Amino acid sequence: MDKVEKALETQISNISKKLEKSKEQMVELVNASGKSKHGEIVSWLKQEFGLGHGDANTLAHFAKNGGTFAKPETDNGDILSEIYQAKKAHLRPVHEKLVAAINLFGEYETSPKKGYVSLRRKKQFATLGPKNNEKFELGLNYKGVITDERFIAQKPGGMCQYCAHISKPDEIDDNFINVIRMAYEQAG
């Protein structure tokens, strides 16, 4: 079991304890809810059981996958190929340059999502993925002030406190990486 699977299993165990239900019972509840779309299941879990978005999202994926986190027959490279296909392929070098720099910080977990990847230590510190066909989006969770004008403060309550949009790897300089390092250190 890799780090991501282990983290997901721990999260499901914590949800199980919180709801005082076995994993199997949680899957049965979701299946019996009558909800079939992922977003509907997430909303239902949040409303019915008071789960936060992250827990509801994870439980919805777990239940829809038959009570398992078995990896699909793709690896991270294939996941990135799915994210950066066709008109977004030219943005993959931005992703790769950022990941190469972040790897130098130390250990963290990568969690593929639909259309982006989440990076976390104890907490999520960044999201990486295409904003659209032309721009790459780096979302950062950082409680503090970032003075680099490339990082735009987001409205409170969102998934990230700051976002930066870039389109080429050469837009990533030492200051850009240092801002990401602050978020990394704060998450850990």
Q: Is 171 exposed, middle or buried (0-12, 13-18, 19+ CB in 10 A)?
A: middle
What tokens appear for 1 in the block? 């079991």
How far from 91 is each of 84, 94, 134, 136, 164, CA to CA, in Å? 7, 5, 8, 6, 14
Helix (H, G, I), strand (E, B) or coil at 147: coil
Q: What is the largest CA-CA distance in the chain?
A: 51
Name, in order, each residue with C-beta under 8 angstroms of 53's C-beta and a sequence gap of 6 or more: 42, 46
Q: Hey, which bits of 40-173 come out as E strands?
A: 109-112, 117-120, 124-130, 136-140, 152-153, 162-166
| The pLDDT of residue 131 | 94
User: What is the distance between the alpha carbons of residues 100 and 95, in angstroms, rounded to a whole number?
Assistant: 9
Q: How is the chain split into domains, by residue range?
A: 3-64, 76-186
What tokens appear for 55 in the block? 């827990």
| The pLDDT of residue 114 | 84
Contact 80, 129 (CB under 8 A): no
| The pLDDT of residue 9 | 85
| The pLDDT of residue 88 | 93
User: What is the distance between the alpha carbons of residues 61 and 68, in angstroms, rounded to a whole number?
Assistant: 9
pTM equals 0.60
Per-residue pLDDT of the chain (188 residues; tens, 9 = 90+): 566 677 788 888 999 999 999 989 998 999 999 888 888 898 999 999 998 888 888 888 888 877 876 544 444 556 888 899 889 999 999 999 999 999 999 999 988 888 899 999 999 999 999 999 999 999 999 999 999 999 999 998 888 999 999 999 999 999 999 999 999 999 98
| The pLDDT of residue 42 | 87
